[in-house]
Amino acid sequence: MELERFDFGEQQPENSGVFEEPLTNEPDNSPSVSEGDNQPQIDYMATFLKSKGIDSNNIPITGEDGTTEIFSFDNLSDEEKLSILESTYSEPAITDDEINTINFLRQNKVSLNEYVKGQIDKAIQEYTANNKNTVYTTDQYSDEDLFKFELSETYPDLTEEEIEDEYQRALGNPELFKKKVDALRRSFKEYEDNQEKATREQQEAENAQQWEEMASSIVDYARNTPYLHGLELSDDDKNEVLSFLLEKDVNGNTEFYKRCNDPKFLFNLAWYTLKGDEAFKAVEDYYKGLLTKARRTNNPTKVVYRNKPKQTDPFDLDSFYNKK
């Protein structure tokens, strides 16, 4: 199953705000900066030749007259240098088929052992399906029963006596009777095979439909879940989880399914399922408490004193005394 990457929200602009100089083909004439003028120069060609077992200062060259002289690599002609470099080439350690195999395994996210095991299981299933000893319901009936049943189905108006008469008449030619019954038995078995195939295909279709519905519901949940336990979920986070759960390898197995064979993974999964919410809630509350305490320390509570409002004198005593 090739899992589509989903865009769960607005994408962040690719430009991070840092201006980069455009690339040009113009030569850089700026002076080079070196660590120091006294640094020893490395002869990379000599180092390369040495790694191939060739002494760059002691290269034997055989002339047309058969005589051999010793030269330094730097004193050779371009043709001789190229010939020596070509002699150091060796075939790659792996072939193209091996490279393609590695790429195939990477693209399908499956190891070599998993792929081989999947192919073996598939071959066994196909062999079993094609060579199984099928128990047919038809084999539970005798030749007489099949013959009479076929007559009753083909000619529903025949009475039991008439069917019996036809059966006795057919027994008068045993070879012909045997051919008829064998053909009937093959026909009934073919019908049973077709029924079994139709049932199997229907079950596979129902399983595929259930898988698609479950996958769709998981994707919808991821799309509608911006935060989890106080942590913001990015699109990359969501797609990584969806790939782990839903993307199938060449054998039809998801990474989640394969990890379920690991007891440690199963125990951790069960623990997070039962205790994860509680644990994350405790951690979240703890850090919220630390943040609240830090805010109080940095911003102590200020006490504001307000002027007490003047009481209204319903009897206007101030005016009474002022008049006096």
Rounded Cα gap, residues 153 and 163, in angstroms: 11
> What are the tens digits of pLDDT across the range 21-43?
444 444 455 544 444 455 556 78
| 134-159: burial string, b at 16+ Cβ within 10 Å, e else | eeeebeebebeebbbebbeeeeeeee
* Predicted pLDDT at 212: 92
* Predicted pLDDT at 300: 59
Angle at 157 between CA 152 and CA 159, to 5 degrees: 70
> What are the tens digits of pLDDT across the range 273-313?
899 888 888 888 888 888 888 887 766 555 555 555 555 55
DSSP letter assigned to residue 108? T
Rounded Cα gap, residues 243 and 248, in angstroms: 8
* Predicted pLDDT at 84: 81
Digitized pLDDT (tens) for each residue of the chain, 324 residues in all: 555 666 665 544 444 443 344 444 444 555 444 444 555 567 878 888 888 788 888 888 887 787 888 888 888 888 888 888 887 766 666 777 778 888 888 887 778 788 788 888 877 777 776 666 778 888 889 999 999 999 999 999 999 999 999 999 999 999 999 999 999 999 999 999 899 889 989 998 999 999 999 999 999 999 999 988 778 899 999 999 999 999 988 888 899 998 998 999 999 999 988 998 888 888 888 888 888 888 877 665 555 555 555 555 544 445 544 554
Give the domain ranges of the chain. Answer: 44-90, 134-224, 262-298
> What is the model's pTM?
0.47
Tally Cβ neighbours within 10 Å of residue 237: 14
Rounded Cα gap, residues 96 and 320, in angstroms: 115
* Predicted pLDDT at 291: 83
* Predicted pLDDT at 56: 82
